[in-house]
Amino acid sequence: MGGAMIITAREMFSVSTPSEYRDWIIGHGPARGAAAAIGVALSDVGNDHRGPTPAPVLAYINEGRWVGDCPQCNASMMLMRGAPFLCANCVNTDLGCQARPLIWPTDDQAEIEALLTVRSIANRNWTPGESVDLLRAENIEHRAEFA
For residue 1, the model assigns a pLDDT of 46
Q: Between 44 and 82, whose confidence is greater?
A: 82
The model carries a pTM of 0.88
Q: Give percent above pLDDT 70 in the chain.
A: 95
- Identify the weakest region by mean pLDDT among 11-20, 46-55, 64-73, 91-100: 46-55
Half-sphere exposure of residue 69: CA atoms within 13 angstroms, side-chain side: 8
For residue 68, the model assigns a pLDDT of 97
What mean pLDDT is reported for the chain? 89
CA distance 68 to 75: 8
CA distance 134 to 22: 35
For residue 54, the model assigns a pLDDT of 87
User: Percent helix, strand and coil across the chain, each rounded to 5?
Assistant: 35, 15, 50
Q: Give percent above pLDDT 90 in the chain.
A: 63
Q: Number of folded domains in the chain?
A: 1
* Domain, as residue range, for 83: 1-147
Element of type H or E holding 58: strand 57-58
Task: State the average pLDDT over residues 70-94.
Answer: 93
Half-sphere exposure of residue 59: CA atoms within 13 angstroms, side-chain side: 25
For residue 29, the model assigns a pLDDT of 74
For residue 31, the model assigns a pLDDT of 82
